[in-house]
């Protein structure tokens, strides 16, 4: 399969981000197309001895499967409740490195891992940068299946256009935790992400949301002019 420009940028960002992984560390590994080249690069560095003694907490079953296939040692967050580093992608990167994540469906585990890490590094290409969160992608909201539709008027009152995420066969999409995802699109972006996050956190039935605010310490952004490091 021919590589696209986007694939090349993701690879470039991964090549820089993998250098943050040091020997003897416990790390969190994210989910999605931006992280896949990083997994390959990490596996290569482990195989050659460039780094040693690294163990990883995967944020999804997909990442866990890929790590096992590549020979990356896995542990659980119960075994390592404090991680040295977490690396993950993002669907949007806004001002102060606030993020929207979760289009890959792993937002709950991704947020748990990000919060457990001493440093959280985001890897993305320049197309993910926005001036206002919510202008390009919806905010994924993970909800329990019971009574999920009763949440739709609440989302609408917050200014969102909510849509239940569905699998390829038309049935409701299920996260690794067995929950549904409602994608909340804001036609003009999100005016106050912090206020939105607070409102979502207070509502019963909502498990987690895809707003990752003031969590990232560093972003590795690949673009036409090379790779940039952005700090919060």
Average pLDDT on 88-109 reads 96
| Beta bridge partners of residue 209, listed in sequence order | 141
Q: What are phi and psi of 20, to 5 degrees?
A: -80, -15
Q: Would the pLDDT of 64 be above 90?
A: yes
Give the pLDDT band of residue 7 (cuts 50, 70, 90).
Answer: confident
* Residue that is written with structure tokens 């939105």 in the block: 196
Catalytically active residues, by annotation: 110
Task: Give the Cα-Cα-Cα angle 230, 215, 146 (nearest 5 degrees).
Answer: 135
Structural contact between residues 30 and 110, judged by C-beta atoms closer than 8 angstroms: yes
- Tell me how far apart the alpha carbons of residues 12 and 119 are, in angstroms, rounded to a whole number: 21
Stretch 163-188: mean pLDDT, rounded?
97
Cβ-in-10-Å burial (0-12, 13-18, 19+) of 124 comes to: buried
Question: What is the pLDDT, as a whole number, of residue 5?
Answer: 82
Confidence of residue 29 (pLDDT cuts 50, 70, 90): very high
The answer to whether residue 82 scores a pLDDT higher than 60 is yes
Q: Could you give the percent of the chain with pLDDT greater than 70?
A: 99
Average pLDDT over residues 115-140: 97
Cα atoms in the Cβ-side hemisphere of radius 13 Å centred on 110: 33
pLDDT above 80: residue 93: yes
Query: Cα–Cα distance between 189 and 186 in angstroms, integer?
Result: 5
- Other CB atoms within a 10 A radius of the CB of residue 60 amount to 22
Residue 54 has pLDDT above 80, yes or no: yes
Do residues 148 and 182 make contact, with C-beta atoms less than 8 angstroms apart? yes
Q: Provide mean pLDDT across the span 115-142.
A: 97
The average pLDDT across 59-77 equals 98
Average pLDDT on 184-189 reads 96
Across 106-119, b (16+ Cβ under 10 Å) vs e yields bbbbbbbbbebbee
Closest alpha carbon to 193 in 137, 142, 129, 132: 132
Rounded to whole angstroms, the Cα distance separating 71 from 64 reads: 10
Q: What is the pLDDT of residue 6?
A: 85
Q: What is the pLDDT of residue 2?
A: 60
Q: Which two tokens stand for residue 156?
A: 């609408």
User: Looking at the predicted structure, is the pLDDT value of residue 1 above 80?
Assistant: no
Residue with structure tokens 């409740």? 81
If you write DSSP's letter for every residue of 71-123 in order, what string do you get?
T--B--TTT-SSBSEEEE--SEE-GGG-EE--TTS-HHHHHHHHHHBS-EEEE
- pLDDT at position 118 is 98
Torsion of CA 11, 123, 128, 207, to 10 degrees: 130
């Amino acid at each position: 399969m021919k590589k696209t420009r986007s694939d090349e940028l993701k690879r470039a960002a991964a090549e820089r981000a993998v250098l943050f992984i040091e020997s003897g560390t416990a790390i969190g590994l994210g989910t999605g197309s931006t992280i896949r080249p990083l997994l390959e690069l990490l596996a290569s560095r482990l195989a050659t001895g460039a780094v040693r003694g690294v163990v990883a907490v995967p944020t999804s079953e997909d990442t866990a499967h890929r790590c096992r296939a590549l020979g990356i040692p896995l542990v659980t967050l119960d075994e390592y409740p404090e991680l040295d580093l977490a690396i993950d992608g993002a669907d949007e990167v806004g001002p102060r490195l606030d993020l929207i994540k979760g289009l890959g469906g792993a937002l709950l585990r991704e947020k748990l891992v990000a919060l457990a890490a001493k440093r959280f590094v985001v890897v993305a290409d320049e197309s993910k940068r926005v001036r206002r969160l919510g202008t390009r992608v919806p905010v994924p909201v993970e909800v329990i299946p019971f009574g999920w539709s009763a949440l739709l008027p609440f989302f609408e009152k917050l200014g969102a256009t909510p849509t239940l995420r569905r699998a390829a066969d038309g049935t409701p999409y299920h996260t690794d935790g067995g929950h549904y995802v409602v994608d909340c699109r804001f036609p003009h972006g999100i005016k106050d992400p912090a206020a939105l996050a607070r409102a979502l956190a207070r509502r019963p039935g909502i498990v987690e949301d895809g707003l990752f605010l003031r969590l990232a310490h560093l972003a590795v952004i690949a673009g036409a002019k090379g790779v940039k490091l952005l700090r919060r």
